[in-house]
Structure 1
């Protein structure tokens, strides 16, 4: 299992974005912990297999239609 912090930036002010990320993480079986939230920035810690974290990144990039993700920066926290 790997833990990474994703810093997601873009036009995220829609009330649908964070619940969408939570549902997507649950569907993938990825652990999630919100670190920081703002209309243009979201910092989230995810935990799961590396391939699932890659899928989580792709899902966030495609996200709900009313949000626009400009970038995702991933920072590895630890491996277990």
Structure 2
């Protein structure tokens, strides 16, 4: 799985929050990053996958607090092709 960055369509607000979260489980699916990008776009969240393996993915994201929580939760539910067993979040 290649690491990706979704830059979004506009500049982020100076007051935007940042969060790093880790998804644990069967997260190595070729359609997962594209799925994440679609959801990030809907929530106006910018993200970067900073680390990925068959059992873990680390994501850094920026946006409004509520949208970051929604994005992390959506990623933990994921598409049918992944099975996330744990979501670990840390604000920055």
SS of residue matched to 1:64: coil
TM-score of the superposed pair, with normalisation by structure 1: 0.87
Select which of 20, 28, 39 maps to 1:24.
39
Give the corresponding residue for 1:7: 22
- Which digits, 9 at most, give the CA deviation of each residue in 1:10-30, with x for residues without a partner? 111221112211221112110
Higher strand proportion = 1
Unaligned runs of 5+ in 2: 1-15
> Runs of 4 or more off by more than 6 Å in structure 1?
none
CA apart distance, 1:56: 0.6
Give the corresponding residue for 2:55: 40
Higher helix proportion = 1
TM-score of the superposed pair, with normalisation by structure 2: 0.77
Question: In the aligned structure 2, how far is the partner of 1:13 from the partner of 1:34?
Answer: 12
CA apart distance, 1:37: 1.1
Number of residue pairs aligned between Structure 1 and Structure 2:
77
Unaligned runs of 5+ in 1: none
Coordinate RMSD, CA, aligned:
1.1
